[in-house]
Amino acid sequence: MVWDALTLQLGYNATLVAIGATLLGVSAGVTGTFLFLRKRALVSDAISHATLPGVCLAFMVLVALGGDGRNLPGLLLGSAVSAWVGLLCMNWLTRRTRLAEDAAIGAVLSVFFGFGIVLLTIIQTMGAGRQAGLEGFLLGSTAGMLWSDAFVIALGGAATLGLVLVLRRPMTLVAFDPEFAAARGLPVHRIDLAMMGLVMAVTVVGLKIVGLILIVALLIIPAVTARFWSERSERVVLLAGLSGGLAGYLGAALSASAPNLPTGPIIVLVSFGFFAVSLLFAPARGVLAAVLRHLRFQRRVHIRQGLLALAQGQTIYEPLTLRLLRRAGVVRADGVATETGKARAAKALRDEKRWQVVRADLAHEATAALYDGLRDIETVLTRDQIADVDSRIGGPQEVQP
């Protein structure tokens, strides 16, 4: 059943949903990356909640005009207008008042969403069945999706992705350093509005699939996931789009293989699964990599301290230090230093004295700042400089066993 869903063999509706969710995931992941890099992730939450009044008002207008209140293009248009008004309100509050951005986001989010809930209540009194399916915009609803609905979603996602590719360079510059962008003559405020507009477009397009409450997850989680795997912005954008697209495709397939599972929440959970894997296993920034780095650092500290103790004829009582020294071939099972251990201990003590000289010399102030007790002095000083330091402390000293 799952394989049939993954290979798009579960029927017309399941195929439409999978394709639409994949395009939405790609566009949401790419767009959300710039929002994440700009450190304005919560803006997407305000924009998504601001769409609800527009959906409700568009429904009421369509019904009043004698049309189908659940016409998707009409509802998406209404949500876009409402989201844009909410975005302008938030922008005005941030720029024209003393409110911080998080306070403006909270105000716009709560007011617009509360107004939307009131309109939903009013719609319920307009006639039995007329509002059926409108609540699907809260958490998403793909049941009975028509070809026209899927076409609108796919077209909107592709158009948004195309605009992001066109504007990626100025948006990247503004996201990392808005002051430098302004110094270069870029209209930072307009670029910010364009970025927010693209987020709004993704939000509106994704209402049918994941809903206004969960769309923020599809915008932010792929970007955060991609950030674990790369330090380069263009790669983060690419990986975020890939992560979002895979989450949309796999989530739609899993939902189609088990009809009782809602599509939107499953897509978000799959996206979170990618995030969890990245958090744990990313090679540079993952938890496992951090644990391994800590263990390697701990091992170096124990070996370094053990060598210094051997060089000074001290007895080592720490079991872990002794175990690490034995594994390194520095001491025998009885704790006595091997010939290799004697040489390494002498070198460690010699380097410690060298560092003392370097740290006391103002001419080596920049080099002294690199001292951490573990760094080999040969990595920061030339042979001639090391020879000069040795001349101040005398010839090499041997450590007596």
Domain parsing of the chain, residue ranges: 2-264, 288-393
| CA distance linking residue 226 with residue 231, whole number of Å | 9
Please tell me the predicted confidence (pLDDT) of residue 136: 67
> What CA–CA distance (Å, rounded) separates 253 from 199?
25
pLDDT at 129: 46
Is 192:174 a contact under the CB 8 Å cutoff? yes
Question: Tokens 């049918």 belong to which residue?
Answer: 208
CA-to-CA separations, 169 to 146, 166, 173, 185, 325, in angstroms, rounded: 36, 8, 6, 14, 52
Distance CA 346, CA 400 (A): 9
Q: What angle do CA 190, 193, 195 make, to 5 degrees?
A: 110
Q: Mean pLDDT for each consecutive 10-residue tract of the chain (401 residues)?
A: 64 74 86 86 82 87 77 82 88 85 85 88 67 64 64 77 85 87 86 85 79 83 92 89 91 79 85 94 91 92 90 86 89 85 90 88 84 85 87 60 38
Which distant-in-sequence residues (6+ apart) come within 8 Å of 352 by Cβ? 308
181/187 Cα distance (integer angstroms): 8
- In terms of CATH, what superfamily is 2-264? ABC transporter involved in vitamin B12 uptake, BtuC (1.10.3470.10)
pLDDT at 398: 42
Tokens of residue 218, six digits: 């599809």
What token pair was written down for 214? 């969960």
Instruction: Write the CB contacts of 58 (distance below 8 Å, at least 6 apart in sequence).
Output: 74, 75, 77, 78, 79
